């Protein structure tokens, strides 16, 4: 993020997200048939998933999960929790979410530990060798990309806010929720190609 006087731009990285990860984990564990499309990403990037909850088939579960996911993908704040409204209207899905919460929490704690290790590895690499543009060793790739675009365009970036929700999914598609919010697969975000993938999303704010 760059701040100049009263003007600023910000690229916000949300990872790992408890709510998004929980919804993806529940879809995977419960084998809910909600395939990728629109703002729905590919499957959870996890091979060793627990068995689903024994239950009577519920044909309405995929639609309920998709509504829940759409609410989460749109953004959740302390004052606005549309995801809770969906769960209140979908008791079948809500029961599954509640019943598997402890398992999810243990999985998510392990995921946070892995994310923290990756971040520290980037910082260490950045301090021990020269950063290469777009490499995983650069912990400030977004900031450096905007600075590079400013140099190329010959003007400072205007104030803007871009939200990126990074997801642990088997997917290569960056999905637009709205022009200021995108769903980014973790494998895309962690790849050397990330600056090139991010550039057109930033350029629309600098045009």
pLDDT tens-place string over residues 58-90:
999 999 999 999 999 998 775 678 888 889 999
Worst-scoring range by mean pLDDT, 47-51, 66-70, 79-83, 103-107? Answer: 79-83
Helix axes 18-29, 91-99, angle to 10 degrees: 100
Bond preceding residue 16 cis, omega within 30 of 0: yes
CA distances from 115 to 91, 110, 176 (A): 33, 9, 23
Helix axes 82-89, 61-73, angle to 10 degrees: 170
At 9, is the pLDDT very low, low, confident or very high (cuts 50, 70, 90)?
very high
Count how many domains the chain has: 1
**CA angle at 89 for the pair 88 and 90, rounded to the nearest 5°:** 95
pLDDT tens-place string over residues 112-155:
887 777 766 766 665 555 445 455 446 688 999 999 999 999 99
Domain membership of residue 119 as a residue range: 2-206
**Cα–Cα distance for residue pair 119/60, rounded to 1 Å:** 40
Predicted structure pTM score: 0.85
94 has pLDDT over 70: yes
81 vs 106: which has the higher pLDDT: 106
What pLDDT does 136 receive? 47
**Class of residue 108 by CB neighbours under 10 A (exposed 0-12, middle 13-18, buried 19+):** middle
27 vs 130: which has the higher pLDDT: 27
């Amino acid at each position: 993020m760059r701040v100049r006087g009263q003007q600023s731009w910000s690229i916000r990285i949300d990872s790992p997200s408890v709510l998004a990860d929980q919804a993806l984990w529940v879809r995977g564990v419960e084998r809910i048939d909600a395939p990728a499309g629109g703002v729905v990403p590919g499957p959870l990037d996890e091979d060793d998933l627990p068995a689903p909850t024994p239950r009577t088939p519920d044909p309405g579960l995929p639609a309920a999960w998709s509504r829940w996911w759409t609410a989460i993908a749109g953004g959740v704040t302390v004052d606005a929790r549309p995801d809770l409204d969906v769960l209140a209207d979908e008791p079948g899905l809500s029961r599954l979410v509640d019943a598997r919460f402890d398992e999810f929490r243990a999985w998510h704690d392990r995921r946070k530990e892995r994310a923290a290790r990756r971040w520290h590895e980037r910082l260490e690499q950045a301090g021990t060798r020269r950063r290469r543009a777009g490499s995983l060793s650069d912990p400030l790739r977004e900031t450096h990309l905007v600075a590079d675009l400013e140099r190329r365009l010959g003007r400072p970036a205007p104030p803007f806010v871009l939200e990126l929700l990074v997801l642990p999914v088997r997917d290569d598609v960056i999905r637009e929720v709205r022009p200021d919010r995108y769903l980014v697969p973790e494998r895309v975000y962690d790849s050397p190609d990330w600056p090139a993938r991010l550039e057109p999303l930033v350029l629309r704010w600098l045009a």
